[in-house]
Structure 1
């Protein structure tokens, strides 16, 4: 069975360029494309032998760095290489803290993209030229990256201002399960209530009002 690479970007022409780069590095790869975060999550759930995810930060359904955290929670063993127009000095270290293997600017040339894809497939971190030093927030970002898919969905619902009853209805789980997830989330974020959890999440770039 051929190995699968997911390309998640809302620009068809750029997806085509990434497809070309992937086929040069991994000629037999099965390439799956997604134009929204929801489509990417669906593709991840159904993909066989997924080797790599190429992800744009700004695409429909993505909230700050939520796309990375969500897909990393769904498949923590699969490397995620962020390919974005964001400033490397701002985003490069943050995307890795949320679970990505590295960051690459969209204006990189084809040779640089191919090299980054090869590094990511080999499990090597892809570093941008201008990355800022680690900060205390990076440790918290790593905790967010360790949330389960359901815990992350609960956290996003809290950010959206939903009550436990609404969250339970929206996710198809019981209120008791929501409370259990919130307890685990607060423990991982080292906070004592849901308001503090929301504040921490917003400080990490997960604010739904972005």
Structure 2
């Protein structure tokens, strides 16, 4: 089995532990590491034959489930396995809703983590989510389906940034930001950026885990 596994976690020792777990399961895999969400996104774009992303929710640059959403938007065909210290019964469900194939707590036994990695590497590419059963599921699926740039704009809105600030931070014109906001509002079926932010916030995009 050959390919690349991306390990995204801001704790070097835990990245090392996950690296060892991957090597035990699939010794031929090439390993890439990232300590921030920005670095993970860069590695995601650069990695050849990316087979799996191991992702921590609590990373610099990530809020709530935004890391999953952004990485899934960049590489929808690559499985994302979340390994996090996030608490609560809903964390695993939310992680899957935004594109992850599985969720493990960091205090899981090493054998459990290794087994989950093996299953993820052996699994078929992620399939489209089934038709949403509840209105909130439909909106969550819509947010998860935004383009990477649209997600970045929406997250900037959540941070309270103005169009001028968003344009500067993302390296685009204000007109382009406005065009993205128009597309986001149309997809979310809302009338203004405040409503768009409320929808994203209600789905946990800005929850700190």
Q: With structure 2 as the length reference, what TM-score do the two structures score?
A: 0.88
Q: CA deviation at 1:33?
A: 1.1
SS at structure 2 position matched to 1:161: coil
Q: 1:106 — aligned with what?
A: 106
SS at structure 2 position matched to 1:60: coil
Asked whether the 8 Å contact 2:64–2:208 carries over to 1, the reply is no
Taking the TM superposition and a 5 Å limit, the aligned residue runs for 1:48-87 are: 48-87=48-87
Asked whether the 8 Å contact 2:65–2:206 carries over to 1, the reply is no
Give ranges in structure 1 of 5+ residues lacking alignment: 126-133
Would you identify which runs of 4 or more consecutive aligned residues in structure 1 move more than 3 Å?
Answer: none
Asked whether the 8 Å contact 1:101–1:124 carries over to 2, the reply is no
SS at structure 2 position matched to 1:59: coil
Q: 1:123 — aligned with what?
A: 123
Task: Measure, in 2, the Cα distance between the counterparts of 1:85 and 1:136.
Answer: 29
Asked if 1:94 is matched to 2:94, the reply is yes
- Per-residue CA distance 1:177-196 (angstroms, 9 max, x = gap): 22221122112222121110
Task: Measure, in 1, the Cα distance between the counterparts of 2:167 and 2:59.
Answer: 27
Give ranges in structure 2 of 5+ residues lacking alignment: 126-132
Asked whether the 8 Å contact 1:159–1:208 carries over to 2, the reply is no
SS at structure 2 position matched to 1:57: coil
Q: 2:130 — aligned with what?
A: none
SS at structure 1 position matched to 2:89: helix
Task: Measure, in 2, the Cα distance between the counterparts of 1:19 and 1:141.
Answer: 32
Q: 1:129 — aligned with what?
A: none
Task: Measure, in 2, the Cα distance between the counterparts of 1:77 and 1:83.
Answer: 19
Q: CA deviation at 1:120?
A: 1.6
- Per-residue CA distance 1:66-95 (angstroms, 9 max, x = gap): 111111111111111000112351200100
Q: CA deviation at 1:52?
A: 0.4
Task: Measure, in 2, the Cα distance between the counterparts of 1:165 and 1:9.
Answer: 31
Q: 2:202 — aligned with what?
A: 203
Q: CA deviation at 1:43?
A: 1.2
Q: 2:152 — aligned with what?
A: 153
- Per-residue CA distance 1:151-206 (angstroms, 9 max, x = gap): 11111121122222332232222222222211221122221211100111111222
Aligned length: 203
Q: 1:130 — aligned with what?
A: none
Q: With structure 1 as the length reference, what TM-score do the two structures score?
A: 0.88
